[in-house]
Structure 1
Amino acid sequence: MSTIAYGSAVRVVPNSYAATPVVRTRLRLTRRGRAVIASLVSLPLVIALMSMALNGGGATATAGDAVVETVTVEAGESLWSVAAAIAPESSTADVVADLIAVNELTSAELLPGQVLIVPARYSD
């Protein structure tokens, strides 16, 4: 029987009739292998970025023939009175919320002469 040094990569299974050595190997990647793995890992990211870049123009809005309706606030008017005048058939609270969102208002205070954009669903 042959001698085996400790710490080597070959291991002999004890108490077996056919003592076959088991060789343990490390995975070693060459420079080309590392490049292939890196490209395979980054390929989905590159495809996603390319599709976003090519489709980015599809989400732009065009003004075209669209006419924006506006309302000028008179002295003594509140957001609630403007909302009731714009859409009397709709819920005033919903119209107020839409006015705040469309005009990007930080509060419900209005100044005389202030111009408000009317949401598209309430314009005539």
Structure 2
Amino acid sequence: MTVISIPGATRMRLTVRGRRIVAALAALPAAVALSLAVFGGGSALASRDTGAPSGSFATLTVTPGDSLWSIAEQVAPGADPRDVVDAIVRLNALDGVTLSAGQQLSIPAEYTPSP
């Protein structure tokens, strides 16, 4: 009678290369998600546009000698002129504080009198 011996179950061992492959495969979904977020996130970039809905501001024509400070004091005498100037600059997307006579400025609704 012959005895056939079945070798015992062996443990699977990962080599250094195998561990790297397993780690890379595990990290692949995260890398894909991060890539999509970076390349697809362009639509969420900040812009200088405030997106104010139509009718939420009044317009004012700049006259000779007007400055943002004088306009701020004129349209909102009870408010801090620095806050009003900042709001006007943001709403009109102004690059600086220089105004030209005849220029149209939008004044935020919070600083215009109620009808």
Q: TM-score, normalised by structure 2?
A: 0.55
> Helix, strand or coil for the counterpart of 1:71?
strand
User: Structure 1 45/26 Cα, relative in aligned 2: closer, same or farther at 3 Å?
Assistant: closer
Runs of at least 5 residues in structure 2 that lack an aligned partner in the other structure: 1-13, 45-50
Count of residues in correspondence between the two structures: 92
- Counterpart of 1:40, as a letter, is A
Alpha-carbon distance in structure 2 between the residues aligned to 1:51 and 1:73: 44
User: Structure 1 113/66 Cα, relative in aligned 2: closer, same or farther at 3 Å?
Assistant: same
Match runs of 1:94-113 below 5 Å: 94-113=83-102
Alpha-carbon distance in structure 1 between the residues aligned to 2:36 and 2:86: 38
Alpha-carbon distance in structure 2 between the residues aligned to 1:106 and 1:51: 31
* Pick aligned residue for 1:87 from 63, 76, 80: 76
> Helix, strand or coil for the counterpart of 2:95?
coil
- Counterpart of 1:77, as a letter, is D
Instruction: Name the counterpart of 1:72.
Output: 61
Greater RCO, CA 8 A, separation 6+: 2
- Counterpart of 1:42, as a letter, is L
Alpha-carbon distance in structure 1 between the residues aligned to 2:58 and 2:37: 36
Instruction: Name the counterpart of 1:114.
Output: 103
User: Structure 1 28/110 Cα, relative in aligned 2: closer, same or farther at 3 Å?
Assistant: closer
C-alpha displacement of 1:114:
0.6
- Counterpart of 1:118, as a letter, is I
Runs of at least 5 residues in structure 1 that lack an aligned partner in the other structure: 1-24, 58-62
- Counterpart of 2:93, as a letter, is E
1:55-76 Cα distance to aligned partner (Å, 9 max, x none): x68xxxxx79631422111222
C-alpha displacement of 1:95:
0.8
Instruction: State the structure with more CA Rg.
Output: 1
Q: TM-score, normalised by structure 1?
A: 0.52
Alpha-carbon distance in structure 2 between the residues aligned to 1:122 and 1:77: 17
* Pick aligned residue for 2:30 from 44, 47, 55: 44
